[in-house]
Amino acid sequence: MTEEDAIVAHGYAHGGALGSQEPGEDAEATEQAEARSIVVDSESVTDAGYESDMATAASTSLSSSILDFSFENGRRYHKFREGRYNFPNDDIEQEREDMKHAVVKLLCQRLHFAPIGNHPNEILDIGTGTGIWAIEMGDAYPSANVLGIDLSPIQPQWVPPNVRFMVDDAESPWLHPLNHFNYIHTRHTVMAIKDWGGLLRTSYEHLKPGGWMELQEIDHFPLSTNGSLSADHPVARYWRYVDEGLENLGVNFRFSHEGRIARSMRQCGYVNVTERVFHMPIGTWPRNKTLKSVGLYWKMILLNGVQAIALGPMTRGLHWTREQVETFLVSVRKGYEDNSLLLYMPLICVYGQKPPKPGSGS
C-alpha cells in the first residue's frame, strides 16, 4: 500500500472527509459540480495520476461462515436470494463501498437533500451495504430509528443504539406496516433493482403522509467535457458490456439516465420531486482542489472495482469466460489513466414527497 493509499484509508475508515481542503474549496466544488462548469486544471490533464495495484488491497476475510456466502471467479457473493445481486460483497468491495460513501459526501457536503426536518422518527436505508450511511444518519438524528436492509450480512455489530440492520430483499413484500417511515433512502442501487416502478410504489405506500424518498444514483456511462471519448474507447465499451449483461439479467442499469428517476417518482404520485445533478470527475483534471481530490478518489474507486463490476454482468449475463474478462480489463485500466479525456459521471440525486394529509401543514 502506498503512502497515499494509507492516508485515504485512514480518512474514510474514521468517518472523515477524504482530503483536507482549504476553506471555501468544498463549497466551490459543489457549486461547480452541480452547475456542470468544472474548471479544468491545464497542468493536470496530462498527469496519469494514481495507478491502482489490486495486489495491495486487503485480503478477503475468512471470518464469515461459508453458509452465509457463495464464491465465484475468486470473489465472494451473497447467499441469501443467491444471484439476486450480481456483484461481490467481500472485504475488498466493502472498502470500496465505504470510499464511495466518503467521496459522495465530499462532493455533496451532506448525507441527504430531502428536507426531512430535525426530528424524523423512522428512516429506512435500502441496500445499506456496509451500513456506513445508516450509522452516520443515526448519529445525526438521535430521534430516529434507522433501519438498513441488504442482501448481505456485512454490517458491523457495534452501532449507535438507534440503528439496526436486517437481511432482506427490498423487492419482496415488506414486513413493516403501511404509512410507517418518515424517510426512505437508497444509493448506488441502480445496478441491483429489477423493478424500479414496483419499488417506488411500495416505498410510497410505506411512507407516512408528508414523508420523503430520496435516491442518489450514479449514471455510470462516462461523459467527456471536451467530447473526446469515442464509442469504441475501452472505457465506453466496458460500461456498454456491463449494461448489456445486466439487461440480460433483468436489471435496468439505465434507470438513472435522462431524468428517468424523477419521471418515475411523479408517475407513482410523489410530489415536490426535485432532481439535482452533480458532475463526478474521473481523474485529477479539475482545477478546484476539492474536485481534484474527488476525481482522484473516484478514479481509484473505478479502477479498484473494475473487476468486481465486470465479472457478474459479463460472465453471467454475456457468458464470457473469466479469462476473456480479465484480458479485456487490461485495456480498460489503461483507458482510465488518460487524464486528457476530461471524464466525469453524473451523480443524480432525486427526492420526492408523499402528499401530506389535508390540513396537516407538513
Model confidence pLDDT, tens digit, residues 84-115? 555 566 667 778 888 889 999 999 999 999 99
Going from the C-alpha of 202 to that of each of 1, 115, 146, 179, the distances in angstroms are 44, 21, 18, 10
So where are the chain's domains?
3-353
Q: Residue 69 carries which DSSP code?
A: E
pLDDT recorded at residue 62: 34
pLDDT recorded at residue 71: 59
202 grid coordinates: 411500495
pLDDT recorded at residue 24: 75
Q: Which residue has cell 433512502?
A: 185
Average pLDDT of the residues in 56-68 = 38
pLDDT recorded at residue 75: 60
pLDDT recorded at residue 41: 73
> Which residues on adjacent β-strands are paired with residue 184?
124, 213
- Per the CB < 8 A criterion, the answer to whether 88 and 154 are in contact is no
pLDDT recorded at residue 194: 87
- Per the CB < 8 A criterion, the answer to whether 332 and 229 are in contact is no
125 grid coordinates: 436505508
Give the model's confidence band at 276: pLDDT under 50 very low, under 70 low, under 90 confident, else very high.
very high
Average pLDDT of the residues in 202-231 = 96
Burial (0-12, 13-18, 19+ Cβ within 10 Å), 68: middle
SS3 55: helix
Q: What is the pLDDT of residues 319-360, one digit of tens each?
A: 999 999 999 999 999 999 999 999 999 999 999 999 998 766
Average pLDDT of the residues in 8-21 = 43
Q: What is the pLDDT of residues 278-322, one digit of tens each?
A: 999 999 999 999 999 999 999 999 998 898 889 888 898 999 999
pLDDT recorded at residue 22: 56
> Which residues on adjacent β-strands are paired with residue 276?
349
Q: What is the pLDDT of residues 128-181, one digit of tens each?
A: 988 999 999 999 999 999 999 988 776 788 889 999 998 888 888 898 999 999
H-assigned helices in 117-233: 132-140, 196-206
Q: How far apart are CA 229 and CA 236, in angstroms?
A: 8
CATH code given to domain 3-353: 3.40.50.150
138 grid coordinates: 443515526
Q: Which residue has cell 459540480?
A: 33
Q: What is the pLDDT of residues 232-271, one digit of tens each?
A: 999 999 999 999 999 998 888 889 988 999 999 999 999 9
H-assigned helices in the chain: 3-13, 25-35, 91-108, 132-140, 196-206, 234-248, 260-267, 289-304, 306-311, 322-336
- Per the CB < 8 A criterion, the answer to whether 219 and 256 are in contact is yes
Instruction: Provide φ and ψ at 146, rounded to 5°.
Output: -105, 120
Give the model's confidence band at 189: pLDDT under 50 very low, under 70 low, under 90 confident, else very high.
confident
297 grid coordinates: 478518489
Q: Residue 313 carries which DSSP code?
A: I
Question: What pTM value is reported for the model?
Answer: 0.79
Distance between start and end Cα atoms, the chain: 51
Going from the C-alpha of 343 to that of each of 191, 240, 279, 290, 330, the distances in angstroms are 21, 16, 10, 16, 19
Q: Which residue has the higher pLDDT, 336 or 62?
A: 336
Instruction: Provide φ and ψ at 274, rounded to 5°.
Output: -130, 135
